[in-house]
Amino acid sequence: MLTRDRELLKPRTITHNRYVRALRPREQLREVFERLDPAGSARPFRLCLMCNAPLRRIAKDKVGDRAPDGVLQRHKLFVTCDVCQRVFWEGTHWQKMRALMDSVAASSNATE
């Protein structure tokens, strides 16, 4: 568990936890990469942002009205969550997050 709430770190039942010092999300991500080195085991974009359930690939013709028409025309790869039925695609948010993770991983490797 990663948190900035020290009270949440007190129960002994939680064995894997870490206090995060940084305040801003980008610095928090960098801090986590530097201290825990998750890059080797990171599997980004595999879990639903809403319910944390695994995402699975879905054929474009099964997306239906769960993505806007423009998105269906511009993108080939879609994934869905079987819990909330949301559909995700590799749009600009996804690409920005991938670039952010790559840059944080690269800079944390450079400081070793």
CB of 50 to Zn ion, least distance (A): 4
Q: How many residues does the chain have?
A: 112
Residue 47 binding Zn ion, by CB under 5 A: no
Residue 48 binding Zn ion, by CB under 5 A: yes
Residue 83 binding Zn ion, by CB under 5 A: yes
Residue 84 binding Zn ion, by CB under 5 A: yes
One-letter identity of residue 6: R
Residue 79 binding Zn ion, by CB under 5 A: no
C-alpha pair distances (Å), 3 with each of 51, 76, 106: 19, 36, 24
**Identified binder of Zn ion from the candidate list 8, 9, 51, 77, rule CB under 5 A:** 51
- Could you list the residues that contact Zn ion (CB under 5 A)? 48, 50-51, 81, 83-84
